[in-house]
Structure 1
Amino acid sequence: MVQKSTKRGRPCAYDADDALARARDVFWQVGYAATSLDDISAATGMGRPSLYGAFGDKRALYLAALQHYQAMAGRDLRAALAPEQPVREGLRLVYDHSLALYFPAGQAARGCFLIGTAVTEAAADPHVRTALADGFRALDRAFEDRIRLAQRTGEVKKTDDPAALAKLASATLYFLAIRARTGETRETLEAVATSAIDLICGPADRGRPTTSTAR
């Protein structure tokens, strides 16, 4: 006797990280308000019922995409600011990587996902406001921790305020993100990043760790 299968429906065939990345890119390009579930469905290849089942409504999907982006950005930031490399080089990596995201190859400049979308939504949505504030604080903290270490190795002047320098480093990222969306060229923004690094680290010829000369 042939037994009938008791399974119903099809197994889950989507990759959650890939779907979130595709949804994020739609929000990133046109903003939260202008993005429809049909847009997300087309980008992810998932029908509305599948989207609701996997992520919930549009707001829940946006919050998940925001969390996914912040986790990715945090990993990249920690890697760039690793203590094994000079702080000047680390800052350059942070800004170069960010500009690569802000100016995707073959596409219009899009700036930063967090700043470009969450700043607008934060005014009315406390969850987005909290995520945005947490992201800014984490960025300041990462910069400040690395700058304090650079002060101990002689790469940054010990008399400078590390918290203030960290906020300068963060503010530079915000500037790059916003100006990228307004049509500034990548070359112009790279020059701005270089100026910020010089302000934080001092002239380029002094940004090296100190070494002992004792014999």
Structure 2
Amino acid sequence: MKEPKPKRARGRPRAYDVDEALARARDAFWESGYSGTTLDELSAATSMNRPSLYGAFGDKHALYLATLHRYVAQSVQTMDETLATMLPLRETLLRIYDLALSLYFRPGGAPKGCFLVGTAAVEAVNDDEIRDILRQALLAFDRAFEARFTRAREAGEIDAHADPATLAKLASAILHTLALRSRAGDKRPSLRATAEAGVAMICGTCPPPAPGRKGKRS
């Protein structure tokens, strides 16, 4: 009696790494914008031909949405982790802005600013899906800042009557300014000085909290 032949798995195994492909597609969109990036450029960037791109991610629009979702998720995670530390508020905010500047001024090319703000803001006018991703991302950034400012108020790092929601929007506005001005050609030291001035404005003249008087984690 012959032994049954082992069944072969249907379809071909994926010969690409999803995260790497999305990162390369993101960089292509980041360089030329959504409208300015062609399918041929995406194929070259990801080392995937058009049928493979369509099979893995769908059309160009679906691929762009996937890169946006990935970028936003990573950005929110980084913000949450950084803001959750027990460092003083001034140091924490400056760390957030330094991380942003490191991303906007990546070595090996011209400053690109923020992928989300630099590309999605243009397309959001006529694209409901992109506009929704942009809006939800900005709200997530605001919420992350607001939670930290609530802790700061409890710890006496900012005025007791300060509104965490309002301060969160100011902190986000500084982040957006760094993104736009870096893409427009402002130098990194100048933008670092802008961040420092913004942090000083937000924190005001409140002294740092006394030893042992740490805010609660949100």
| 2:110 equivalent in structure 1 | 108
Distance apart, 1:4 and its partner CA? 10
TM superposition score normalised by structure 2: 0.91
- 1:12 maps onto 2:33 in alignment: no
Q: 1:80, 1:130 → 2: CA distance?
A: 25
Q: 1:160, 1:93 → 2: CA distance?
A: 22
Q: 1:50, 1:184 → 2: CA distance?
A: 39
| 1:160 equivalent in structure 2 | 162
TM superposition score normalised by structure 1: 0.92
Q: 2:10, 2:133 → 1: CA distance?
A: 38
- Rate the CA distance shift 1:186–1:207 in 2: closer, same or farther, 3 A: farther
Q: 1:121, 1:66 → 2: CA distance?
A: 12
| 1:202 equivalent in structure 2 | 204
**What stretches of structure 1 move > 4 A for 4+ residues in a row?**
3-9
Whether the 8 Å contact between 1:155 and 1:210 is mirrored in structure 2 is: no
Match of 1:97 among 83, 94, 99: 99
Letter in 2 for 1:169: A
| 1:126 equivalent in structure 2 | 128
Which stretch of structure 1 is more off in the superposition, 79-88 or 126-135? Answer: 79-88
Q: Which string of whole-angstrom CA distances, capped at 9 and with x for unpartnered residues, describes residues 34-92 of structure 1?
A: 00111111111111111101100000000000000000001110111014222212111
Which blocks of at least 5 consecutive residues in structure 2 are unaligned?
214-218
Aligned ranges for residues 135-154 of structure 1 at < 5 Å? 135-154=137-156
- Rate the CA distance shift 1:159–1:58 in 2: closer, same or farther, 3 A: same
Which blocks of at least 5 consecutive residues in structure 1 are unaligned?
none
- 1:71 maps onto 2:73 in alignment: yes
Whether the 8 Å contact between 1:88 and 1:207 is mirrored in structure 2 is: no
Letter in 1 for 2:147: D
- Rate the CA distance shift 1:60–1:150 in 2: closer, same or farther, 3 A: same
Q: 1:4, 1:162 → 2: CA distance?
A: 63
Q: Which string of whole-angstrom CA distances, capped at 9 and with x for unpartnered residues, describes residues 111-166 of structure 1?
A: 00010001011001000111111011111111111001001011111122211111
Q: Which string of whole-angstrom CA distances, capped at 9 and with x for unpartnered residues, describes residues 168-208 of structure 1?
A: 100001111010011100000000000011111124xx552
Q: Percent identity?
A: 50
- Rate the CA distance shift 1:58–1:196 in 2: closer, same or farther, 3 A: same
Q: 2:202, 2:210 → 1: CA distance?
A: 17
Q: 2:51, 2:6 → 1: CA distance?
A: 26
The alignment's C-alpha RMSD in Å is 2.0
| 2:180 equivalent in structure 1 | 178
Letter in 2 for 1:195: A
3-state SS, counterpart of residue 116 of structure 1:
helix
Whether the 8 Å contact between 1:151 and 1:157 is mirrored in structure 2 is: yes
